Amino acid sequence: MTPSSLPFIRLKPKANARAIRFGAPWVYDNEVVTDRRTRNIDPGSICILEDADRTPMGVVAVNPNSRIFARVLDRDTNVSVGHAWLVGKVRAALSLREKLYDTPFYRLVHAEGDGLPGVVIDRFGDTAVMQPNAAWAERLLPDLVAALQEVTGVTHVLKNAAGRARGLEGLDDESGVLAGQAPDSPVEVRMNGATYLADLVDGQKTGLFYDQRPNHAFAGRAAKGARVLDVFSHVGGFGLAALAQGADHTLAVDGSAAALTLASEGAARMGQAERFASQQGDAFDVLGQLAATAQQFDLVVCDPPAFAPNKQALEAGLRAYERVARLAAPLVAPGGILALCSCSHAADLTKFRSACVRGIGRGGRRAALIHTGFAGPDHPQHPQLAETAYLKALFFRL
């Protein structure tokens, strides 16, 4: 469809057109003039966005079934969003990663941060795992896969349809293979000297959390000769990084037996099996059990799931982060380090840090903040979208 033939949507007079002109990437349903025509636009359609005076503002992807009514794709109203446009976006994303990483294991596309709203692509060598979390990406999925393969040369492309984002867009939760075939075993990924095993088919999200890479590295530097407790460990993220940098011993705690099995296998492949132990169970329960036996560690890391995935859950989420800090603080040996993480975009850095400090105080400890970490550069932040700047990691010396 040529730009001149695209349908249009129009902002209400009181909508904040100025913010959109200055880069805001989303248009909400209460900002758009809605009538029978706009309500009947097919989800995922490409349209022209106009301000209240009918001045074109950009090309957008529209979903009348979503609270996010439109996502800005391009400020140039003359572009045609198709294969060539997608190739340009993926090529730009790849160019950044190739400057930063020696091997093709990284987040290749970070949604709005890379100009592809709602699209997440993690790369594992010649396999990519895609999360098309917006209706437009689902609609253009064949073109997106073709562009991805043309630019990167990946052989296998998997679709991961898990997570709440697709539900908010009215999309299904059916994962599958989009090109090539699924790996028949976990993929080995090496980061910060550690060996991780990523289950790209049945693992959590895309199988591995690349976002914590720089925070794993910082924890590793602080872990030489240390006894390490890695809570909400998943496949061994912080614990294996610590072992790779000379930790004496790591105990990994997670609710998933499958994830801990992968963590143990990773330790074995590193030649560190004898220094690695795991304990399956509810993290809060295990923290309490460790405290009851007066155990202490030189480095304690807690990297829980998003306790505050949206504003409605913020207060309960902050209480949960405070509880984690309260339970973990007594487990840190004097002079040791406590690392507390949040992947909740609704809990900004100030609120999260305040909750952690309260929890540490309630745990009977005093703390000095020695480092604040964020997601790696393969997770570029859109400066006007908090969702792309979700990860925080606070390192305290107790």
If 0-12 CB within 10 Å is exposed, 13-18 middle and 19+ buried, where does residue 5 land?
exposed
Distance CA 82, CA 191 (A): 35
Cite the active site residues. 343
Residues 132/134/138/140 CA torsion (nearest 10 deg): -100
For residue 177, give the 3-state DSSP assignment. Answer: strand
What backbone torsions phi and psi does residue 340 show, to the nearest 5 degrees? Answer: -125, 130
Rounded to whole angstroms, how far apart are CA atoms 29 and 7? 17
Closest CA to 266 of 229, 307, 226, 237: 237
Q: Could you give the angle at which helices 349-362 and 314-328 cross, rounded to 10 degrees? A: 40
Please, what is the end-to-end C-alpha distance for the chain in angstroms?
A: 60
Q: What's the CA gap between 2 and 108, in Å, rounded? A: 29
Which stretches of the chain are DSSP H helices?
17-21, 36-39, 83-100, 135-139, 141-152, 164-168, 213-221, 237-244, 257-269, 283-292, 314-328, 349-362
Provide the 3-class DSSP secondary structure of residue 106. strand
Measured CA to CA in angstroms, residue 222 lies from 22, 241, 260, 396 at distances of: 41, 11, 23, 11
Q: Where are the beta strands (DSSP E) in 15-115?
A: 26-28, 45-50, 56-62, 68-74, 105-110
Of 351, 226, 366, 376, the C-alpha closest to 301 is 226
- How far is 128 from 152, CA to CA, in rounded Å? 10
Q: Inter-axis angle of helices 213-221 and 237-244, to 10 degrees?
A: 40
Rounded CA-CA distance 381/361 in Å is: 32
The three-state secondary structure class of 332 is strand
Strand 26-28 relative to strand 45-50, pairing: unpaired
